[in-house]
Amino acid sequence: MKKIKKRSFSSQFWSQRYQENRTGWDIGEISSPLKHYIDHLENHQLKILIPGAGNAYEAQYLFEKGFKNVFVADISETPLKNLKSRFPDFPKNQILHLDFFEIEDTFDLIFEQTFFCALPVASRLDYAKKSAELLKENGLQIGLLFSFPLTGKGPPFGGSKEEYLTYFSPYFEIEILEPCYNSIPPRQGNELFFKFKKKPVNSGEKH
Which spans of this chain sit near ligand SAM (rule: CB under 6 A)? 8, 14, 25-26, 51-55, 73-76, 79, 99-101, 113-115, 118
CB of 200 to ligand SAM, least distance (A): 27
Taking the complex as a whole, the smallest distance from the CB of residue 204 to ligand SAM amounts, in Å, to: 30
Provide the minimum distance between the beta carbon of 112 and ligand SAM in the complex, in angstroms, as a whole number.
8
Nearer to ligand SAM, 96 or 199 (CB): 96
Q: In the complex with ligand SAM, which residue's Cβ is closer, 25 or 108?
A: 25
**Concatenated DSSP letters for 90-127?**
S-GGGEEES-GGG----EEEEEESSSGGGS-GGGHHHH
CA triple 139-144-81, angle to 5 deg: 85
As beta bridge partners, residue 193 has 144, 178
Give the pairing of strands 95-97 and 48-51. Answer: unpaired
Residue placing its CB nearer to ligand SAM in the complex, 49 or 140: 49
What are residue 144's DSSP bridge partners? 193
**At its nearest, how many Å lie between ligand SAM and the CB of residue 111?**
9
